[in-house]
Structure 1
Amino acid sequence: MDMKCKTQHKDDGSTFYTACRCNCGGSYQCIIKANVKDGKVISVEPDDRYNYNCGREDAYMEEEDLQKVRIQRRPCVVGLTWHKYAQLPERILYPLKRKEGTERGAGEYERITWDEALDTIASKMIESREKYGPLSIISPYMPNETYERIMSYWGAGAEGWGWCSYDAARLMAQMITGGEGWEVQNWSSSSGADMLTHSKAIVLWGCDPTVGHQGPAHAFAWYIKLARERGKPVIIIDPRYSMAVRTLADQWIPIKPGTDVAIMMGMAYTLFEADTYDKKFIEKYVEPVGFQKFKDYIMGNGDDKTPKTPEWAAEKCGVPAETIRALAHFVWDNEPCWTYAHWSLSRKSQGEQVISTFAALQAMLGNWGKPGGGPAIHPGGQVQDLPMGYFSTTYSEPGPYKVPKLFRSHYWAQAVLLLDDYKSGKISAEEYMSSVGWRADKSLVDQFNPRFLFWGGGSKPHASNHLVTACDTASDQIKAINKMDFIITAHSIMTPTVRYADIILPVQDWIWEGSDVSRTAPYGVFEAVQGNPGVVEPPGETKQWVWIYVEICKRLGVDPKNFFRYYTGKRSWEEDWENGLREMYHDVEEYYKGRGKTIPTYDNFQNGEFLNCDELEDQPLTGFVPQMKENKPFKTPSGKIEFYYPLFEDESQRGKSEHYTFDGKLIDNLPADWKDMPSSPEYKVGRHGMDDPKSKEYPIMLLTSHSRYRVHYVHWINPWLRGHVYRHRVWINAVDAAKRGIKDNDKILVYNDRGKIIMPAYVTSRIMPGTALIHQGGNYEPDENGIDRGASPNTLLGGDKASNFTPARATNLVQIEKYEEANV
């Protein structure tokens, strides 16, 4: 192929390449070509460094080029409009302090100096530790690993555990394979190139790759389209008729949300019944006792004596038995079939069972680590031993103080509010800990006294807008916020959450305003290392996020080198930071040098040259390489894949502060009380789902899918992604709408016992009856009656304290009515 790879030239000072670093699922892979004038990004273009000036990229590409992902790293609409987001009037440019006498949430602030802001923060932290003890300083959702590192040296602080994305997978991957919950790159056969090259068919569960990118912009969806054009059939299982169904699928299978385990078990029954499953794989790689328990349960020889036939599954999931049976034969007959269960399946009650059942089904198909077989557990696909991460926080062991994990981070507000019930004697310590996802020593309950709220999401300059992203209603979070003595946040935009801070620290935008080196997020399906050279000067007095932590360290008496090892205190901050970037990139150079490969120099890299890791691999990446290719054992007691977890049957272990694998590794997504978690794959009716008794009162199951025009909440206020581009409406099935007298665009009231929102209706047949959809990330904008007119679906989430806390549970039950002032 005549590939033209255009590189950046800085001599005219007007054109720069930089990596898009949004947290979209394919983070850091897309390239933005920025045109700069008078210190401002005036326009952007897509990446043009591969296949330059080609009208249709694949027309000029050979098979090897596709396999090595020699494609333009084009950004999506979010990346192409990010410069407008960074230039919004709502941008925070200076340190701010809440005006004396004003209420939190009013958004009334006055400008202060950095010294005043940082000195105040440090003095308030010291005061809180002295008056209320070390467990008085906490962070909300999301966990803040950088705050945690400082606290480990300072000797105070408490923290939550768990994220929004795939904690159920992190937990079950550790139970099934023994690998730690963050070893994502080891779990999967997940590269889009692997799928295109080796698969005979594709089955996607709960996945819209035109929105959830998992690769440069829509490149993963493009690879699926290329596969389909080559005659590889595509099936999508989803309660929505999504854009992916419309543009990529040969067959759409609508399913009741939260019942995916049933269809998987119906497929497993079909394969067992026909004796068509990979017995050689099972014998070699799967621990036999657990697999026999799984088989007995499926075939009706378990405790419930119920065969999990396709007819049984059809009653649970709403998919016809003949469709389930045909799907099972389809994936077997089209081996290897690229089969992928997206995160959305496990972001509900009993999400752990989705992961374990899917992993068992993939084992029956022999798909673990098989080229073309799809993820065994979760998409990953990174170069496994590439020595690169957040160099400022991973270079050495943390300090001597172990920051305790006192609550599931989504339920940080419940940890604050329910504490009063425990201290007043309304609930016991055990009930309290069980309700908040406690994962620490019981004795700490009486020492827990949260008074100081330190922002979440510490390594992200846009932090966490937890009022709209924490999977718990904003009303409870605000109650918890108002119980705090002091709140600080670092952010770039005045969000609903930021408005409740006492001090706000302005941070640089990490795409445009600071230099950095970044690696593809571990759950992408393509691999790259990207540079951010710093396209424009930081506006106002915005600062780089690591600098902020270094300055806090200095004021707390913590050696800044414990946080940032390149800090000297002698050179300028910019020199120290640049030295860190060079050393980190040098490690990458040495890694590839050891493999006989040459990559661009650091200077050339930051000047626009590309580091495409897929191009440097001989074959597309697949998962479980040590086990499948080197015959090394899994990190389990048996050395094999395990589907039986005796820990969950051992009542002597319930309530202990931490749990460990047989070889001493912390099981880092398991709370002290795992509640109703079964010890092997099992179908359990999910709470707050369509079969919950509560559905009599709230008969519509609410889904909260991601929007094409936002990354979580980011870009909600971007004018280029509003108006005719995107209208925030609730999807409601035409049948459900007709019952309620609702027509398209009518204002409707959506409510439950967590909150109320008002928004327009999108009446459609693209979603199953009995379900509704509000895209995640809408602003929280309560009126004088507390009704959210933003409308954020988060307002309606939370409230389930009866089942295990691992899944984020981004769904709930609601009622919908046509809006009239009188009915609210």
Structure 2
Amino acid sequence: MFQSKPHPDSVLHSAHWGTFAAHWDGRDVEITPYPGDPAPSPILGNFRGALRHQARIRKPMVRKAWLDNGPGPQRRRIGDPFVECEWDTVLDLLAGELARVRDGFGPQAIFGGSYGWSSAGRFHHAQSQIHRFLNVACGGYVRSVNSYSAGASGVILPHILGSFEGVSRRNVTWDQIREHTDLVLAFGGMAVKNSMIAGGGISRHVEPGAMLAAARRGCRFVTVGPQRDDLPEEAAAEWLPLRPGTDVAVMLAMAHTLLAEDRHDRAFLDRYATGFEPFARYLRGVTDGRPKDADWAAAISAVPADTIRELARALVAGRSLIVVSHSLQRAEFGEQPVWAAAALAAMVGQIGLPGGGYNYALGTLGHTGRRNVAVPTPTLSQGRNPVEAFIPVARISDMLLNPGAPFDYNGRRLEYPDIRLVYWAGGNPFHHHQDLARLHRAFDRPETIVVHDLAWTPMARVADVVLPATMTLERDDIGAAGTDPLMVAMRRVAPAVGEARDDYAIFSDLAERLQAGAAFTEGRTVMEWLAHLYEPTRRALAELGADAPSFEAFWERESIELPQAPDDGGMLRGFRTDPEANPLPTPSGRIEIFSETIAGFGYDDCPGHPVWMPSTEQPDEAAPLWLIANQPATRLHSQLDFGGYSQSRKVGGREVARLHPDTAAARGIATGDVIRIFNARGACLAAAELSDAVMPGVVHLPTGAWFDPAPGGEGVDDEAGAFCVHGNPNVLTRDVGTSRLAQGCCGQVTVVECEKYAGEAPAVRAHVPPVGA
């Protein structure tokens, strides 16, 4: 808690990137990070200038062409004009359209799109609000499963180790690493720009301090990947530059070294794992004639063979931890690095030990590496969805373009539903999704697209009905996360811009028009809902004998500390301690190095044990460079791209692309130049920055710059693809599934060429409202 507030009228609030005090002076907001946070996130700076930015949506808007012509498939351009409407008019119009689709085609013709990152608040959580509304008022909806971040790992981990949460968030903690770990081998690194962010909010960013303490104790950190700075300076890490997409080859070679030198833990494998022998035959080359030794992997990965062998031996010389980042599995065959690293860790034999073994995605979010809180946190019920149809989240273009077409997923043969209406609240698929020209074409297919948003994102610009939503600073809520000890009363900081309303108010009015108002609201105001959602937490605190203030007292105090559960290693520690009493939730109850279940699916792109499968897309004469499109350091996904901190790190209003000096010199590119990055799917402009922290032959362009096709929104061509003048790399990435098992996204890596842009570059207009707004 703040001992003395930075301004007498400041109130406490929380965001995905931190807890803070905020004061609104009528023109802008003053932000002061929570004093208990040892490493506050600079992303908090995006609130500066955001509340009244020109990009905010101020009134309900309807696409002119849809208003004139009515529902139906139509060409939707990002530059199309809109018409202002009054709230009652647009809500009547929208309620009628929802009833038309629901009653005429069934709720299975409605796709409920949301990605859940709109707010740290547990009540004004867009994903919960839209799903609750569609369930109650429309009889359900077609949903998406899994995530863009962890599409492959979220499906493969339950087959081989158990619950995703148990492996990623309830496993090895930073406290354990501080005290026990001798070697952290991080494939893809553990960039603190990612751990700055957590759903539900975060009050203490502990990762840099933990790595510093561990390094000073003597822990060795090694990052394997194409970028040196995927581990922070505090880790004093060694960097092993690796060709993008070749991590699995290195993992297999380390496993081969342990096997060939008889350094693997046979006793651990016998007791805790199943299917090692088929994997061992593959490592030896019995099945395909090619041993997966260090010399083989060195030729593929560019990591020296002696280095591979030395690291393999180091894994068994002390307490070691193998970490795989989300980035590795956001690629074709992305299931393989997750599985291969788990198999390697099983051979080392330290899974379940404090600070040792395997932790998928440690450092990927602020949730990971922390103790759980010992009480439940507020959660809004979404109700029951009776519609069985779903898609893996990254297959939205496939669904819209191919209604009725079959697809494989996790052992099932399914069909894409026929979607007439897309309702989106919270999220910008023109950030998350790949091959934006194809996505743009896909959004021409529905009869109606509805969006709630606080700003004119690209998704809002392709919608037919656009409803202005408040941003987090304009509403009251509760911030809480299952791994953060502070629960925050998120006080409203500023009045809503224009006529913006919160999602709950919008859905309440729509539900009333659809004769479902009482069922949706349950007769509660926002504050009554907050008190209702707070009560299970208060009751659990009281049962533990902890401080359990009433809701009114909590709201007055603005925050309370939540007790934490013991750091007991979770599912994997319990399994190691007693595998008979605590079997893993896998088909065998053990670690599955070979999976009979997966083998039984018969997928040639995901066989029964980890294998090396090079990407089918490789550099060639037309596209000789690798593009790394990772998460940005200046914002959460594309949120508040127009905010102060995000804008301060752009050059000439464009996103920055990093190149190695040798790569740039061969193309006559200097720091600050506008460059064109292109392949067969499209092109984008970016500002060049030369850096030896990036491997030669690699271009690094983060995601999150709002898609800005130019000129005038016409920069999407059926033949030439999409052309973004702002620097969105997803005009270049492939829209294919990781495999038939998971159908995750492949947005992390692709192949491109780049050149210095000739002539005057088009102006960036990504944050300028459309005509009529």
TM-score (norm 1): 0.79
Give the corresponding residue for 2:615: 686
Q: Which amino acid aligns with 1:475?
A: A
Work out whether residues 8 and 15 of structure 1, in 8 Å CA contact, stay in contact via their aligned partners in 2. no
Q: Secondary structure at the match of 2:707?
A: coil
Change (3 A) 1:626 1:310: same
Change (3 A) 1:104 1:819: closer
Q: Secondary structure at the match of 1:226?
A: helix
Give the corresponding residue for 1:391: 379
Work out whether residues 20 and 75 of structure 1, in 8 Å CA contact, stay in contact via their aligned partners in 2. no
1:555 to 2:513 alignment: yes
What's the % identity of the aligned pairs? 22
* Superposition map of 1:463-502 within 5 A: 463-470=426-433, 472-502=434-464
Change (3 A) 1:240 1:453: same
How far is the alpha carbon of 1:410 from its aligned partner?
2.3
Work out whether residues 17 and 607 of structure 1, in 8 Å CA contact, stay in contact via their aligned partners in 2. no
1:47 to 8, 29, 34: 34
Q: Secondary structure at the match of 2:193?
A: coil
Deviates more, 1:272-281 or 1:603-612: 603-612
CA distance in 1, matches of 2:558, 2:597: 50
1:733 to 660, 663, 679: 660
1:295 to 2:224 alignment: no
Give the corresponding residue for 1:714: 639
Give the corresponding residue for 2:622: 697
Work out whether residues 34 and 41 of structure 1, in 8 Å CA contact, stay in contact via their aligned partners in 2. no
Work out whether residues 367 and 376 of structure 1, in 8 Å CA contact, stay in contact via their aligned partners in 2. no
Q: Secondary structure at the match of 2:683?
A: strand
CA distance in 1, matches of 2:211, 2:297: 28
How far is the alpha carbon of 1:611 from its aligned partner?
4.7
Give the corresponding residue for 2:19: 31
CA distance in 1, matches of 2:300, 2:427: 36
Change (3 A) 1:588 1:367: farther
How far is the alpha carbon of 1:744 from its aligned partner?
3.1
1:363 to 336, 339, 346: 346
How far is the alpha carbon of 1:293 from its aligned partner?
1.9
Change (3 A) 1:8 1:20: farther
Deviates more, 1:749-758 or 1:726-735: 726-735
Give the corresponding residue for 2:491: 533
Work out whether residues 140 and 466 of structure 1, in 8 Å CA contact, stay in contact via their aligned partners in 2. no
Q: Secondary structure at the match of 2:152?
A: helix
1:743 to 651, 670, 674: 670
Work out whether residues 749 and 758 of structure 1, in 8 Å CA contact, stay in contact via their aligned partners in 2. yes
1:568 to 2:522 alignment: yes
Q: Which amino acid aligns with 1:516?
A: D
1:137 to 2:87 alignment: no
2:309 to 321, 325, 334: 325
Change (3 A) 1:802 1:76: closer
Work out whether residues 176 and 355 of structure 2, in 8 Å CA contact, stay in contact via their aligned partners in 1. yes
1:17 to 12, 15, 31: 12
* Superposition map of 1:5-154 within 5 A: 6-7=2-3, 14-22=9-17, 30-37=18-25, 42-48=29-35, 50=36, 72=37, 74-99=39-64, 100=67, 104-106=77-79, 108-140=81-113, 142=115, 146-153=129-136, 154=138
Work out whether residues 63 and 463 of structure 2, in 8 Å CA contact, stay in contact via their aligned partners in 1. yes
Work out whether residues 709 and 715 of structure 1, in 8 Å CA contact, stay in contact via their aligned partners in 2. no
Give the corresponding residue for 2:119: none
CA distance in 1, matches of 2:115, 2:45: 26
How far is the alpha carbon of 1:329 from its aligned partner?
1.8
* Superposition map of 1:335-414 within 5 A: 335=319, 337-373=320-356, 375-379=358-362, 380-381=368-369, 386=374, 388=376, 391-393=379-381, 398-399=384-385, 401-405=386-390, 407-414=391-398
1:158 to 113, 120, 142: 142
Q: Deviations over 1:486-524 (max 9, x none)?
A: 1111111111221122222222222x23232233367xx
Give the corresponding residue for 1:202: 184
Count of residue pairs brought into register by the alignment: 718
Q: Secondary structure at the match of 1:330?
A: helix
How far is the alpha carbon of 1:413 from its aligned partner?
2.0
How far is the alpha carbon of 1:776 from its aligned partner?
0.8
CA distance in 2, matches of 1:403, 1:147: 17
Deviates more, 1:639-648 or 1:382-391: 382-391
Q: Deviations over 1:698-724 (max 9, x none)?
A: 221111122221111123212443246
Q: Which amino acid aligns with 2:511?
A: C
Give the corresponding residue for 2:724: 788
Q: Secondary structure at the match of 1:333?
A: coil
1:519 to 2:462 alignment: no
1:806 to 743, 747, 750: 743
Give the corresponding residue for 1:665: none
Give the corresponding residue for 1:756: 683
What is the alpha-carbon root mean square deviation over aligned residues? 3.3
Q: Which amino acid aligns with 1:733?
A: H
Change (3 A) 1:90 1:45: same
Q: Deviations over 1:27-62 (max 9, x none)?
A: xxx221223446x764221212x4xxxxxxxxxxxx
Q: Which amino acid aligns with 1:388?
A: P
Change (3 A) 1:145 1:798: farther
How far is the alpha carbon of 1:155 from its aligned partner?
3.3
CA distance in 2, matches of 1:83, 1:450: 39
Change (3 A) 1:760 1:186: closer
How far is the alpha carbon of 1:602 from its aligned partner?
4.2
2:467 to 474, 480, 505: 505
Give the corresponding residue for 2:365: none
2:290 to 286, 289, 306: 306
Give the corresponding residue for 1:668: none
Give the corresponding residue for 2:572: 624
Q: Deviations over 1:116-158 (max 9, x none)?
A: 3332222112212344454332245748565445444533532
How far is the alpha carbon of 1:605 from its aligned partner?
4.1
Structure 1 unmatched runs, 5+: 23-29, 51-71, 423-428, 655-673
Structure 2 unmatched runs, 5+: 70-75, 117-126, 363-367, 717-722, 763-773
CA distance in 1, matches of 2:253, 2:623: 29
Work out whether residues 241 and 695 of structure 2, in 8 Å CA contact, stay in contact via their aligned partners in 1. yes
TM-score (norm 2): 0.84
Work out whether residues 181 and 321 of structure 2, in 8 Å CA contact, stay in contact via their aligned partners in 1. yes
Q: Which amino acid aligns with 1:43?
A: E
Work out whether residues 633 and 639 of structure 1, in 8 Å CA contact, stay in contact via their aligned partners in 2. yes
How far is the alpha carbon of 1:165 from its aligned partner?
1.0
Q: Deviations over 1:195-242 (max 9, x none)?
A: 112222333221243311257575312221222223322222120122
Q: Deviations over 1:604-655 (max 9, x none)?
A: 5444565555x6445475553542456411123322122222233335xx7x
Q: Secondary structure at the match of 2:614?
A: coil
Work out whether residues 170 and 372 of structure 2, in 8 Å CA contact, stay in contact via their aligned partners in 1. no
1:543 to 501, 508, 516: 501
1:168 to 2:152 alignment: yes
CA distance in 2, matches of 1:88, 1:388: 37
Work out whether residues 756 and 795 of structure 1, in 8 Å CA contact, stay in contact via their aligned partners in 2. yes
Give the corresponding residue for 1:577: 529
CA distance in 2, matches of 1:341, 1:547: 42
Change (3 A) 1:531 1:702: same
Q: Secondary structure at the match of 2:458?
A: coil
